[in-house]
Chain A
Amino acid sequence: MTASAPTLAVENLRTYFFTKSGTVKAVDDVSFSIDAGRVLGIVGESGSGKTVTGFSVLGLVDPPGRIVGGRVLFKGENLVGADEERLRRLRGGRIAMIFQDPMMTLNPVLRIDTQMIEAIRAHDPSMDKAAARARAREALGRVGIPSPDERLRAYPHQFSGGMRQRVAIAIALLNKPDLVIADEPTTALDVTIQGQILYEAQKLCRESGAALIWITHDLSVIAGLADEVCVMYAGKMVEAGGVDAVLDAPLHPYTRGLIGSVPSRNRRGQKLAQIPGMTPSLIDLPPGCAFRTRCPRADRACAETPAITLPVPGRPVRCFRPYSS
């Protein structure tokens, strides 16, 4: 391992939302790190806090939410509490984000070239429009969009969902960022397109050496794509480690349940395995392990909130009774 700082190191991040109905601990003590050129998958159901984690890194959490604790170290520099102008320069420049819903990510009343050129010039005001346009055109070509010149002059609603997401990827990579955070970019697309997008993203990141964080609820995506994985549940990180290790021998009951419920792992004719119960509401979550109501191994000790332990080196897990590897 190199001695330089990881591209991103998140330490004990906490982001809470203070609403009228109560406090939502969307991100409650999450830690992970990722090095250049690697792919980290953040896995969790909807409501597990994974999207908010992504926004927290970029400082894009809107009121009534805010980061209440922890550090986000981008190449050693703490972004929590950094001033807005510093964050603005990083966003879209050194750290890029790809959103989930391609329909709404692009402004419907502005042309594609406008939206791409502005992303370039926001970080390099000295570049003239023609040069920026050339770069945009080249980026569209790289993500596999045919006749990019025409497409540049088009409006978002003239693209299909898959194409729009390719444009979003192109925009993300325009300024050659060191870190790309992709928040469920393929969830809204159909399966065939999904595969293509995955492939493009992976290829481009390997080519540029950027670190990629892929947020998803779909374990099968992670299996093919990521180097490391971080599993989240109810706002907390419950397990992390190398993807092969975690998927082959999961330590946390939730991870094990997730893997078990993937349809391809189930036998024909048998009842589909699923984790009983539902994800708890995050409003005023009671203390203790949030998974205990659904866990086959829960006992009285689980009424306390477990801390992160390292039963196996490199495999942090948050459980009093993890499985043995």
Chain B
Amino acid sequence: MLIYLIRRLLQSVVVLAAMSLLVFVGVFMIGDPIEILINPLADEIEKDRARAALGLDLPLWEQYLAFLFNAVRGDLGRSFAYNVPAIDLILERMPATLELAVTATLIGGVLGVPLGLLAGLKPHSAAGKSIMAGSILGFSLPTFWVGLMLIMIFAVELGWLPSTGRGHTGRLFGLEFSFLTLDGVQHLFMPALNLALFRLALVIRLARAGTREVALQDYVKFARAKGLSQARVVWVHVFKNILIPIVTIQGLELGQAIAFAVVTETIFAWPGMGKLIIDSINVLDRPVIVAYLLVTVFMFIVINLLVDLTYSVLDPRVRLAEQRA
């Protein structure tokens, strides 16, 4: 187990380093940010001075090394646009994005599994069919379009829910969260639902497919032959078997939600990391882009590692194989 853990950690470090190089080199090639930030009428001397001030005149590999050195110390440069440390900017916005992503993933999991289970057990019933139809829609509807429609219906036509922003927040562990106030919940509802829709559809389909397969297995029939109640057969025997792949997917889904929050945040003007990155790409605020990409890559690596560990804990066959290895 320990060897496995160490091996994964090393692998993660390698990936992180590779990604940082990729990101740095790639972003470096975007273009000259000076062109955007400085008055275009400034002459070359001024531009050169600005470049030197920002360290942009050094050769690429020197810039990269300096960058790495600083990165390890937690300094990822200052934002060109906001003139504050990029890492601060990202971290300030992270709770908002995480709140959105976690809520969306939770909705997907908590609603999706029972619905998928039902659809798998009674595929030809009215409920089963409508759940499947719903899931196909949820899977196919482009997230951004759904967001627009939600705004149109609930904010514009009906006026029930606010269409932008985060609303009032409450404090918990020193961080601002929306779900702690009623106004915040109202603001959180639509974006979270929007983000959740795709994941919900995915979980329903997974749960349904898993249930259909598991329900045909001999051990389910044997459980019934033992005289167990239908409830126990479904919620203990079937449920536990379909849960393993779903739970691990949920971990990855959290990562997907964090990334896809980019779209939802843009539509609903939710002040999170996603909106920040889009704006930064448009103004070529390189440090922020790099910081965002690195922070996200780091988060994914951690999430993937946790998911792998969870999988081995949940599935006794994997766990014991690891132990013996």
Contacts and interface: CB of A to CB of B under 8 A. Distances in A.
> Does A associate with B in a complex?
yes
Interface stretch (A67-75, A93-101, A126-134): A93-101
A155 B316 contact: yes
Given A110-B237, A122-B232, A105 B227 contact: no
Nearest to A156: B219
A108 B219 CA distance: 9
Contact of A105 (B218, B230, B315, B317): B218
Contacts of B224: 60, 91
Given A109-B241, A110-B237, A118-B232, A104 B219 contact: yes
A42 interface: no
Given A107-B237, A109-B240, A158-B320, A92 B227 contact: yes
A107 B219 contact: yes
Interface string B226-244: 1111101000110011001
A123 interface: yes
B18 to A, nearest CB: 37
A106 B317 CA distance: 13
A60 B221 contact: yes
Nearest to B240: A109
Given A157-B317, A158-B320, A107 B223 contact: yes
Given A60-B221, A99-B222, A109 B228 contact: no
Contacts of A104: 217-219
B225 interface: yes
Given A109-B315, A110-B237, A155-B316, A122 B221 contact: no
A91 B237 CA distance: 17
B228 A105 contact: no
Interface string A80-91: 000000001111
B320 A92 contact: no
A158 B316 CA distance: 10
Given A107-B241, A157-B317, A92 B228 contact: yes
Nearest to A174: B226
A119 B316 CA distance: 22
Interface string B276-292: 00000000000000000
Nearest to A59: B224
Contacts of A123: 227
A100 B275 CA distance: 59
Nearest to B218: A104
A109 B226 contact: no
B241 to A, nearest CB: 6
A98 to B, nearest CB: 9
A319 interface: no
A152 interface: no
A4 B223 CA distance: 32
Given A93-B227, A157-B317, A106 B222 contact: yes
Contact of A122 (B218, B226, B240, B241): B226
Given A60-B221, A107-B241, A122 B320 contact: no
A108 B317 contact: yes
Contacts of B219: 104-108
A109 B244 contact: yes
A101 B316 contact: no
B218 A92 contact: no
A122 B230 CA distance: 11
A200 to B, nearest CB: 19
A58 interface: yes
A91 B316 CA distance: 29
A60 B225 contact: yes
A58 B225 contact: yes
A155 B315 CA distance: 11
A101 B229 CA distance: 23
A105 B222 contact: yes
A91 B236 CA distance: 18
A89 B228 CA distance: 8
A90 B240 CA distance: 26
A264 B129 CA distance: 57
A237 B232 CA distance: 37
B222 A118 contact: no
A110 B228 contact: no
Interface string A186-210: 0000000000000000000000000
A122 B228 contact: yes
A183 to B, nearest CB: 10
A141 B241 CA distance: 29
Interface in B259-315: 315
A99 B218 CA distance: 8
Contacts of A157: 316-317, 320
Q: Which of B228, B229, B320 has the most CB of A within 10 A?
A: B228
Contact of B226 (A101, A108, A171): A171
Nearest to B237: A107
A122 B217 contact: no
Contacts of B228: 88, 92, 118-119, 122
Nearest to B314: A109
Contacts of A89: 227
6 contacts: A91-B227, A92-B226, A108-B219, A108-B317, A119-B226, A155-B320
Interface of A: 58, 60, 62, 88-93, 96-97, 99, 101, 104-110, 118-119, 122-123, 155, 157-158, 168, 171
Given A118-B232, A118-B236, 8 more contacts: A96-B225, A99-B222, A107-B240, A107-B241, A108-B219, A108-B317, A110-B240, A171-B226
The 9 closest A-B pairs by CB, nearest first: A92-B227, A92-B226, A104-B218, A91-B227, A119-B226, A107-B219, A97-B225, A105-B222, A155-B316
